[in-house]
A and B are shown apart, each in its own frame.
Chain A
């Protein structure tokens, strides 16, 4: 009960003109990260606030230039809409050993001009052992950014491989950032990451091998006749192609408002379902503490109890 009130108080502060509204938003984000239950509580408390107009996922292999490119997009947005606010969620990995993390994406994101600008809000997150490239609090944090007044939110994932595509579940569109040297036709044909992209960006276009890489990628992606996903070239380093990249995001998302609404609704549905499942899992875990687990496992292995009966009993006790 007290915790609920706390969420409400923080939200009230975010809606006010107080000096601490940014701080309250940041605190609420920390709460959103604590558990899936809190994530849902915050989402439902913010249901009447407007979500950001655009939520763009930015993903790709480590070293493709995601952070620098995100920084360039911030600058492009600031140039076009100096009065509007932009939010960025940047995810970096947690240590599998200590649980700690170094979150250093901000370094490449802020031009000196924007570094103390109140219209740019950057939040770094650690993965906390979750796979998929983003974290469970991401959606609620996006909603909090919306409540703060962010028009656009960029979600930059950890550097990913072929199988991390959870960013799709929290964004309106996904930009896959590639760099020359990252594979050939066969890589582009594979299932997984390449399927979830809405926009493909070949970064590091200042490199001589960028053009052949771009041609190969375009050819492969456009093999299917109705395939129209845009493929672009950028150089985050020298700031080339950024305007075109931003244009294609806006274009993509304003084609079909109804589709966008449906997509967001479905995403929220998944998040709520996940929260219920994770709560069930937590309860199961607390039932199966270390000693109990040993006993249960040994009983099953020795044939004392049947596995299906054990599962049945455990699940009943959970409720």
Chain B
């Protein structure tokens, strides 16, 4: 009975940037909308390496990593992150991304296992909805 009345802690996400890309506006905005939607957002700052991002995601026990790109380097960087997650047996940490990403690349990213790709102009409502839906799916899988 007491278990039911217990308020669940918010879902934790890592929202950040990898590589040499200093455009913070988008990533900070997205971090902000997730905060307002009740998520706990780990914001790691700029110019992190894939290795650093994966280390943080594991230590912080986040459910998902959301990455913002304006550099064009999304494919090699995300592919490295996916490999590292596999190495650390942390493939269940979901990855989504956003930014200036060409249509052809979206297919490649999705093939790598990226769950959602948000391109410029996506509304905050859609981002929250789609990411929230990801967690509904993954909790079903666990059962």
Contacts and interface: CB of A to CB of B under 8 A. Distances in A.
Do A and B originate from a single complex?
yes
Interface of A: 19-20, 22-23, 26-27, 29-30, 33-35, 94-95, 97-104, 106-107, 115-116, 118, 121-124, 126, 128, 279, 282-283, 285-286
A123 B89 contact: no
A124 B45 CA distance: 14
Contact of B60 (A26, A98, A118): A26
Contacts of A102: 31-32, 35, 41, 43
Nearest to B2: A282
Interface of B: 1-2, 4-6, 8-10, 12, 31-32, 34-45, 48-49, 51-52, 55-56, 58-61, 87-90
Given A23-B88, A26-B59, A121-B59, A107 B45 contact: yes
A101 B10 contact: yes
Given A126-B10, A282-B5, A286-B2, A98 B59 contact: no
Nearest to A27: B61
Question: Could you tell me the dominant secondary structure of chain B's interface residues?
Answer: mixed
Contacts of A279: 2
A22 B55 CA distance: 9
B105 to A, nearest CB: 27
A68 to B, nearest CB: 13
A116 B51 CA distance: 7
Nearest to A99: B38
Nearest to B41: A102
Question: Could you tell me the dominant secondary structure of chain A's interface residues?
Answer: mixed
Contacts of B87: 19
A151 B34 CA distance: 35
A93 to B, nearest CB: 11
B56 to A, nearest CB: 7
22 contacts: A20-B88, A22-B59, A23-B89, A26-B60, A30-B12, A34-B6, A34-B9, A98-B35, A98-B36, A98-B38, A100-B10, A100-B37, A100-B40, A102-B31, A102-B41, A106-B45, A107-B43, A115-B48, A115-B52, A115-B55, A123-B60, A124-B42
Nearest to B35: A100
Contacts of A19: 87-89
B35 A286 contact: no
Q: Specify which of A97, A98, A103 lies most central, judged by the most chain B CB atoms within 10 Å of its CB.
A: A103
A290 to B, nearest CB: 12
Contact of B9 (A33, A97, A118, A124): A33
Q: Specify which of A27, A116, A282 lies most central, judged by the most chain B CB atoms within 10 Å of its CB.
A: A116
Nearest to B87: A19
Given A20-B88, A124-B42, A95 B6 contact: no
A94 B10 CA distance: 10
Contacts of B38: 95, 98-100
A104 B43 contact: yes
Given A102-B43, A103-B41, A26 B61 contact: yes
Contact of A26 (B1, B37, B58): B58
